[in-house]
Amino acid sequence: MIDKGFASIDQAVADIFDGASVMVGGFGTAGMPDELIDALIARNVGELTIISNNAGNGETGLAALIKAGRVRKVICSFPRQADSHHFDARYRAGEIELELVPQGNLAARIQAAGAGLGAIFTPTGFGTLLAEGKETRRIDGKDYVLEYPIHADFALIKAQRADRWGNLVYRKTARNFGPIMAMAAKTAIAQVAEIVPLGSLDPEAIVTPGIFVQRVVQVAPGAAH
Amino acid sequence: MIDKGFASIDQAVADIFDGASVMVGGFGTAGMPDELIDALIARNVGELTIISNNAGNGETGLAALIKAGRVRKVICSFPRQADSHHFDARYRAGEIELELVPQGNLAARIQAAGAGLGAIFTPTGFGTLLAEGKETRRIDGKDYVLEYPIHADFALIKAQRADRWGNLVYRKTARNFGPIMAMAAKTAIAQVAEIVPLGSLDPEAIVTPGIFVQRVVQVAPGAAH
Amino acid sequence: MNRLNREQLAARVARDIPEGAYVNLGIGLPTMVANFLPVDREIFLQSENGLLGMGPAPEPGQEDPELINAGKQPVTLLAGGAFFHHADSFAMMRGGHIDICVLGAFQVSTRGDLANWHTGEPGAIPAVGGAMDLAIGAKQTFVMMELLTKQGASKLVERCTYPLTGLACVSRVYTDLAVFDLGPDGATVVEMVDGLTIEKLRELTGLPLALAAPRG
Amino acid sequence: MNRLNREQLAARVARDIPEGAYVNLGIGLPTMVANFLPVDREIFLQSENGLLGMGPAPEPGQEDPELINAGKQPVTLLAGGAFFHHADSFAMMRGGHIDICVLGAFQVSTRGDLANWHTGEPGAIPAVGGAMDLAIGAKQTFVMMELLTKQGASKLVERCTYPLTGLACVSRVYTDLAVFDLGPDGATVVEMVDGLTIEKLRELTGLPLALAAPRG
């Protein structure tokens, strides 16, 4: 019997290794897998490459991971925010590398990785600093930039409900990058509010089929672990 | 008030023009928008380019459109079937052009059109007859073929339920190409079993948001129109 | 000279958004346009973090941290709205399914180049978000901004000096002093506030502005 | 020499599919493998027309024309199954999420090239379906076929003469006479039916087959 459920959140992240590339879901705090990130911080691995839309807010989640000095590189669209002081400090100190990617290209490159494409021509960014040095091409009278897929060793995402096969449904705008990150990572780990019995998720409404999810772990809202 | 519902199926296809490119959903007969195709046949326009997975079965749907001599070109993955005699005859007579596309590339090219990409590097077909003459590239040790998006003037698809904003949900494996064809066509026309009041579709379970759908028309199962 | 205030400017933009339009309102000033959309028009607001059919801010106490807009403010969902993931959301944008995108700007060139993501100051940490995708994706990109900087320099320029967000992507600019249509032939003044003349506007901007023929 | 019949061959393939595997079974002979999967293993069958967690054929009278497999036969969905659209379905394939794909073949070369979509006969109408995507997408592609044509020619060949489906994509071939592992160094015989010798197999195929070391 296949059960992708993990009893503890610490076990779910136990094999994330030094130097791993880790996708982290969430847009701002919506969909941010805080408890998975806390468990990752507790593991004391470093030199991580983080792929996420932002680079942490305030003192929790990604910001805490960065504060703890575990991150070597961030691939994101929007690192600078009013309360992104931990990223800012590390970046200004030259301790974190930043690859800035337009948000839609970030999504498209993650999706391309999940779908096994080798590269995509996207119009976004053409003629800007963020396309400097990149291959471009005019196709049907419009200009495009060649962008490559972004794969990752792990994805940490947050969903609302899962079953033991790893099928996921999300909640409102917390969905954001979750479905495509699950597809693009070798090991996708989802923290969910509830693990429900097999067959209780509507097969027409499953957003992420279990094939894209390797581990699920139930996290009571606000629970310690 | 926006109401994408059309009272008659004939009105829903009334502006499909000679020479138009028309995507037709369905995999075999599942998801095939038979009534929309019948309405199209009744319109007597020709020189159509049809993008669909198959090239018609038996005597109905696409097969009838082809039999009626309305189709100049078919872009599909699997034209030849035991009962595809109308396509076979027109093709052998040199009256229909065929662009054969591997099914996954067909899906990816349609999705790329909907997503505004200029081209994609896909591994499927590399080194085969279907990639002859196409640009190829080795990326990270793997070989890819450059494929271009497939756009269309119209998409004819079948869904289960719609609301007046054009939101769609599908039924089982009749979903197949519907969601991506809706994205790739200038005018997506969905025949549905039921038009429901706004707000009755679960926003978490809407498969095709209304932005991708221009017209919906309710077709009672088996009804004449 | 009657400069439009922020509310008046938002209301002016809102007037040009037709019923049935799919619209993305950028962070900051453009977000205010939502407050002035005529209640008798159904207009679909998209937010690139994954919702379509965005409604107004919730009542106090009704905020849901998982129902936010791209500016990370709490919002609501209208009946008929839908949620979707980021790749589908940006497919809406990049694929040309959004009719109108309204953005703020540091500078816009007369041929429609947009600069709104980065001041290019040494030491500034760059952040782009969805700006570049929004700029080039929609069928029409509108900019709303004050025409002049606090120092009196025109933000409508011959050529942007800030790093670009997108090339030739802005079709119309709404400012506190005038509305401009942009294109390969440069900027055309579509309307001006009371008391402003085309000569004065040319002087303020330093640009050879054309004047649109009065509408029938 | 005990040639495996179709059922035995399907059972042999089924034995090698581990619990938890995501598997796509091609049209025709490979579809039969489903009938022999051990009931004590949870194995996920994917069908490229948009379902995962495919169950057995429905009871007579329970067929649903909108619940079919890629061979257009009526099937069922297991509890825990899911539906999705064609782009997501082929992302599962092309993106390497499917563990094992089992396909039929006209020919397979010793380095794993596959020919299974087109005989190349003059006048034949070509049709490819998902064959090329399936061939190159899965982590492992298995072929099941009779080793010899009716005329006695080996379908495992040095070099395919039929038009190719994919290059170097097949890792293992199950036939009625033997099982072969394929790779850059050619074909290795993993197992043979009772009464068959490596010498005889070399003679039947005309290939310099290696013999795998017996397993511990």
Q: Which chain C residues have a beta carbon less than 8 Å from that of B179?
A: none
Nearest alpha carbon to residue B214 among B162, B161, B171, B143 = B162
Chain D residues touching B31 at Cβ < 8 A: 66
Listed in sequence order, the DSSP H helices in C59-197 are: 86-94, 131-137
Residues of B in contact with C94 (CB under 8 A): 115-117
DSSP run (H or E) holding B107: helix B103-114
Strands (E), C48-169: 51-55, 76-83, 100-103, 107-109, 114-115, 140-145, 156-157
Cα B54 to the center of its chain, rounded Å: 10
Question: pLDDT tens across A134-164, in order?
Answer: 999 999 999 999 999 999 999 999 999 999 9
Q: Tokens 């397979």 belong to which residue?
A: D108
Residue D91 in contact with partner chain A when CB distance is under 8 A: yes
Structure tokens at A191: 């923290």
Q: Which residues of D touch A195 (CB under 8 A)?
A: none
Which residue in the list D7, D19, D42, D48 is annotated as catalytic?
A: D48
- According to CATH, the superfamily of the domain at A5-120+151-218 is Glutaconate Coenzyme A-transferase (3.40.1080.10)
Is B119 part of the contact surface with chain A (CB cutoff 8 Å)?
yes
Cα A109 to Cα A98: distance, rounded to the nearest angstrom: 17
DSSP state letters, D4-30:
--HHHHHHHHHHT--TT-EEEEPSSGG
Can you tell me the distance from the alpha carbon of C118 to that of C116, in angstroms, rounded to the nearest whole number? Answer: 6
Is the torsion defined by CA of A66, A72, A78, A82 positive or negative?
positive
D67–chain A Cβ distance below 8 A for any pair: no
Tell whether the model's pLDDT for residue A224 goes beyond 80.
no
The reply to whether residue C131 touches residue A102, judged by beta carbons under 8 angstroms, is yes
* A64 vs D94: CA distance, rounded Å: 36
CB contact under 8 A, D42 and A1: yes
Assign C216 a pLDDT band (cuts: 50, 70, 90).
low
Joined together, the tokens standing for residue D197 give 């010798």
Q: Which of C7, C19, C48, C146 is catalytic?
A: C48
Residues D132, B123: Cα–Cα separation, whole Å: 9
Tokens standing for residue B43 = 């319109």
Give the number of B-C residue pairs with CB atoms closer than 8 Å: 63
Residues of C in contact with B109 (CB under 8 A): none
Residue C4 has pLDDT above 60, yes or no: yes
C-alpha torsion angle, residues B11, C20, A107, A200 (rounded to 10): -70
User: Minimal Cα–Cα distance from A170 to chain B, Å?
Assistant: 8
Whether residue A82 is predicted with pLDDT greater than 90 in this model: the reply is: no
Cα D27 to Cα A210, B173, D63, distances in angstroms: 24, 17, 19
Cβ-Cβ pairs closer than 8 A, A with D, add up to 63
d(CA D43, CA D36): 12
> Which residue out of D45, D132, D169 would a mutagenesis test of the B interface target, given it has the greatest number of B Cβ atoms within 10 Å?
D132
DSSP D138: S
Sign of CA dihedral A23, A29, A31, A37: positive
Is A55 within 8 Å of A87 (Cβ atoms)? yes
Neighbours of D39 (CB within 10 A): 5
Q: Where in chain D are the domains?
A: 6-211
Residue pLDDT, tens place only, C126-148: 899 999 999 999 999 999 999 99
Both tokens of D56, joined, read 């057995």
Query: Are C87 and A128 inside 8 Å of each other by CB?
Result: no
**Residues belonging to chain B:** 225
Q: Which of B165, B183, B195 to mutate to test the interface with C (most CBs of C within 10 A)?
A: B165
d(CA A181, CA C104): 30
**If DSSP codes are grouped into helix, strand and coil, which group holds residue B189?**
strand
Q: Which amino acid is at B225?
A: H
Angle between helical axes of A103-115 and D86-94 (0-180°, round to 10): 70
Take residue A201 and report the two structure tokens written for it.
Answer: 């998720």
Interchain contact, A127 vs C164, CB within 8 Å? yes
- For C168, the closest chain A residue by CA position comes to A127
CB A60 within 8 A of CB A24: no
Q: Taking a C-beta distance cutoff of 8 angstroms, is the pair D67, D74 a contact?
A: yes
Chain B positions touching C20 (Cβ under 8 A) are 2
Between chain D and chain C, are at least 3 CB pairs below 8 A? no
Q: What percent of chain D has pLDDT over 90?
A: 93
Q: Is residue B163 less than 8 Å (CB to CB) from chain C?
A: yes
Q: Say if the Cβ atoms of C80 and B199 lie within 8 Å.
A: yes
> Between C123 and C201, whose confidence is greater?
C201
| Chains B and D make contact, 3+ CB pairs within 8 Å | yes
For residue B79, the distance in angstroms to the closest alpha carbon of chain A comes to 25
Q: Is the pLDDT of residue A225 over 60?
A: no
pTM recorded for the entire structure: 0.97
Assess contact for D44 and A210: CB atoms under 8 A.
Answer: yes
Query: How many angstroms separate the CA of residue B116 from the nearest CA in chain D?
Result: 15
CA of B30: which chain D residue's CA is closest? D66
Residue B210, both tokens: 């209304």
Distance, C-alpha C210 to centroid of its chain = 22
The C residues from 93 to 132 touching A (CB cutoff 8 Å) are 93-94, 118, 123-132
Nearest chain C Cα distance for residue B11, angstroms: 20
Q: Which amino acid is at B153?
A: D
> CA angle, A48 as apex, A45 and A51 as ends, to 5°?
140
Domain boundary assignment for chain A: 5-120+151-218
Q: What is the pLDDT of residue B9?
A: 97
pLDDT attached to residue D216: 55
Q: Which residues have C-beta within 8 Å of that of residue D216, sequence separation ≥ 6?
A: none
C32 at A interface, C-beta within 8 A: no
In this complex, the chains that touch A, judged by 3 or more CB pairs closer than 8 A, are: B, C, D
Q: Domain C6-211 in CATH: superfamily?
A: Glutaconate Coenzyme A-transferase (3.40.1080.10)
Q: List chains adjacent to chain B, taking adjacency as at least 3 C-beta pairs closer than 8 Å.
A: A, C, D
A and B touching (3 or more beta-carbon pairs closer than 8 Å) = yes
> What's the confidence (pLDDT) of residue C213?
83
Tens digit of each residue's pLDDT (9 = 90 or more) over D25-44: 999 999 999 999 999 999 99
What confidence tens digit (pLDDT) does each residue in D120-160 have?
A: 888 889 899 999 999 999 999 999 999 999 999 999 999 99
Tell me the mean pLDDT in the region A173-177: 98
- pLDDT tens series, chain B, 225 aa: 999 999 999 999 999 999 999 999 999 889 999 999 999 999 989 999 999 999 988 888 899 999 999 999 999 999 988 888 999 999 999 999 999 999 999 999 999 999 999 999 999 999 999 999 999 999 999 999 999 999 999 999 999 999 999 999 999 999 999 999 999 999 999 999 999 999 999 999 999 999 999 999 999 765 444
Confidence of residue C124 (pLDDT cuts 50, 70, 90): confident
C66 lies within 8 A of chain A by CB: yes
What are the structure tokens assigned to D14, written together? 């089924």
Which residues of chain A from 96 to 135 reach within 8 Å of chain C, CB to CB? 98, 100-108, 110-111, 122-130
CA distances from A162 to A190, B48, B187, D99, D110 (A): 8, 45, 36, 22, 43
Average pLDDT over residues A58-83: 93
Q: Which residue of A has its CA nearest to C91?
A: A104
Which tokens is D168 given? 């170097």
Beta strand spans in D61-152 (E): 76-83, 100-103, 107-109, 114-115, 140-145
Contact with chain C for residue B5, Cβ under 8 A: no
Q: pLDDT (tens digit, 9 = 90+) per residue, C20-74?
A: 999 999 998 999 999 999 999 999 999 999 999 999 999 999 999 999 999 999 9
CB contact under 8 A, A123 and B144: no
Residue A210 to residue A216: CA distance in whole angstroms: 10
Q: Between chain A and chain B, how many beta carbons pairs sit less than 8 Å apart?
A: 64
Average pLDDT of chain C, as a whole number: 96
Choose the closest CB to C82 out of B113, B164, B167. B167
Q: How far out from the chain centre does Cα B138 lie?
A: 31
Residue range A60-82: average pLDDT?
93
Rounded to 5 degrees, φ, ψ at D27 are -70, 145
Which residue type is seen at C159? R
D48 is catalytic: yes
